[in-house]
Structure 1
Amino acid sequence: MPTLVIFLCGIANFALHKATMESDHPMALQMRAAFGRFMGGYGSYLLEFLILLSALSFAAMDWAIALPAYLVYTGMNGLAGWAILNGKI
């Protein structure tokens, strides 16, 4: 069950990541430029994938902290994405 919840949160994180990276917010433009030198602009997606893969791996090994840690990560991503996309930052 934790792996399913982490996987669904990962889908939400990727969707939010894509939305923020495609926005015209100055912070997103700066991140695109910084990650543009690494893997042709897909470096930030690789980082997001590695975080998801780590959380799924820890959940598969029955580490109890994997699900709460990834839920906190997803919540922080959600708040930051909301702030960026709604112009609060």
Structure 2
Amino acid sequence: MKYTVGQIARFIRIQKGIKQSFVSDKLGFKSPSSYSEIEKGVRHLSADKIPILADALDVSIEELFFEDKIRKMRNDNDVIA
């Protein structure tokens, strides 16, 4: 199964105990619901925001795109919807 960047970001965010409002603020969104739409796949994240998202989640950009690492983590906790 292929995961979206939003789904991977959600998994990482939950694992690290980071609130949506924190990530939303870092990305410059007016409300957490805008970021929530990215996690749900309703809205896409522009390329210029990818490094900011990675920084907010304290991960490398590669970790947002290479799902083999996520698949391994998923075995420990099934939070990716």
Q: TM-score, normalised by structure 1?
A: 0.30
Bigger relative CO (Cα 8 Å, ≥ 6 apart): 1
Larger radius of gyration: 1
